[in-house]
Structure 1
Amino acid sequence: MILLISPEQTDDIEIKTLHQLFEAGLEHFHFRKPNATLDEHRAYLEQIDPTYYPYIMTHNFPVELTQEYAIKGIHLEERKWREQGAALETYVKSFTDKGFAVSSSYHEPEDLAAQPVTFAYHLLSPVFAAISKSDMQGRGFDVRDIPKFIAGMGGINAQTTPEAVKLGFQGVGALGGVWNAKDPIQAFKEMQSAFAKAYNKKI
């Protein structure tokens, strides 16, 4: 599993590039625009071919966007799932009962391992030094003993993907490793190849 998180700021060619990434095999896109309004989220989605909506997980405006678009589901960043407190399971169920997927983020493997609520998958970061954030140092998490589907984030590109697989990650998530590359499409394809080779070797 390879997932891609959107850049926080949208440039003029992002939508075109995103369509090329979908065509290249991207099936897990995390739509994260923390500073964008609901209408700006709608405008972004309106530019995407609805064929690809089932590949999109939104980080913001989950109720509105799942009601209005046939997207895959929602992602709860750590702050957001913590805010739910004891109501988290009920909140998650309000989406899964309607057929939407719900994923979640963590920064400590212990918190992920202890999470009693069931999610489609979990993101854990930072595994390696982040490409898009120069001050974020990697922690080299080893998750082989956690029996959950975990995707590693932070410093992920074609070169670091095999090491992430060795550490027990069943998926990898990229941001800077693709969007900051000279050729984002080629960078994604190289990640695909590296992940498939490393994962097949592991099993």
Structure 2
Amino acid sequence: MIVISNPIEIVNEINIIHSLFEEGMELFHIRKPNYSKEELRLFLSKINSSYYSKLVLHQRHDLAEEFKIDRLHFTEKDRLAKPNRFQKPVRFLSTSVHSIEAFNGLTKAFDYAFLSPIYPSISKQNYVPTKNAFEEIKKRTNQNTKLIALGGVSVENIEEVLTNGFDDFALLGTIWNSKNPIENFKICQQIAHSF
């Protein structure tokens, strides 16, 4: 189970992030598309350094070395624009796709990929699936890269995601649009651990 940051700053965000890690959050994707390099540097510096190995950077990849972060994420647009960037010195690479065909075409460089949206998005208005992901996943041929469900994943549908071919799922709106993000995380975690 992966958690993605809220794209914009929220009240008490760093404390919530630390609480999520204390509750067992395995990976935290930092997606702050409108942050300057300095804003992101300040944000990262507030996170306890003991968690840096569990952070994934979506933007400002040049900060990875400074913070000893060895996980980078590439949007579909970035991946297609610069196909030769995906060398390791970093240990883990992930990306985003919006079709099973794009997922099947990924190289072995990527450890996992988000396929979205699976359901109508909780955090992005009018971001809805154009195809049935559970039908599409039957065309999966790429077994080297883990397939992660993203988009509208919530307490109500985690079981459906995990029993229909996805390797894991990512949460954004379910956490950050909740009145109690920690409790929501714990419920999702319990469901995930039952599989």
When normalised by structure 2's length, the TM-score is 0.92
State the alpha-carbon separation in 2 of the partners of residues 105 and 117 from structure 1. Answer: 14
Q: Residues 155 and 28 from structure 1, CA distance in 2 versus in 1: closer, same or farther, beyond 3 angstroms?
A: same
Find 2:101's aligned residue among 80, 102, 110: 110
- The one-letter code of the counterpart of 1:141 is A
Report the counterpart of residue 184 of structure 1 in structure 2: 181
Task: Map residues 122-201 of structure 1 onto 2, 5 A cutoff.
Answer: 122-138=113-129, 139-142=131-134, 143-144=137-138, 145-146=140-141, 147=143, 148-197=145-194, 200=195
Q: Does 1:48 align with 2:56?
A: no
Identity, % of aligned positions: 29
Q: Residues 80 and 100 from structure 1, CA distance in 2 versus in 1: closer, same or farther, beyond 3 angstroms?
A: same
> How many equivalent residue pairs?
189
Q: Residues 101 and 37 from structure 1, CA distance in 2 versus in 1: closer, same or farther, beyond 3 angstroms?
A: same
When normalised by structure 1's length, the TM-score is 0.88
Find 1:92's aligned residue among 80, 86, 93: 86
* Gap regions ≥5 residues in structure 1: none
Report the counterpart of residue 57 of structure 1 in structure 2: 56
Q: RMSD in angstroms over aligned alpha carbons? A: 1.4
Secondary structure in structure 1 of the residue aligned to 2:114: strand
Hey, which bits of structure 1, 4+ residues long, moved more than 3 A? none
- Which of the two has greater helix per residue? 1
Asked whether the 8 Å contact 1:141–1:167 carries over to 2, the reply is: no
State the alpha-carbon separation in 1 of the partners of residues 118 and 132 from structure 2. Answer: 5
Asked whether the 8 Å contact 1:6–1:31 carries over to 2, the reply is: yes
Secondary structure in structure 2 of the residue aligned to 1:68: coil
State the alpha-carbon separation in 2 of the partners of residues 187 and 164 from structure 1. Answer: 17
Report the counterpart of residue 30 of structure 1 in structure 2: 29
State the alpha-carbon separation in 2 of the partners of residues 190 and 134 from structure 1. Answer: 24
* Gap regions ≥5 residues in structure 2: none
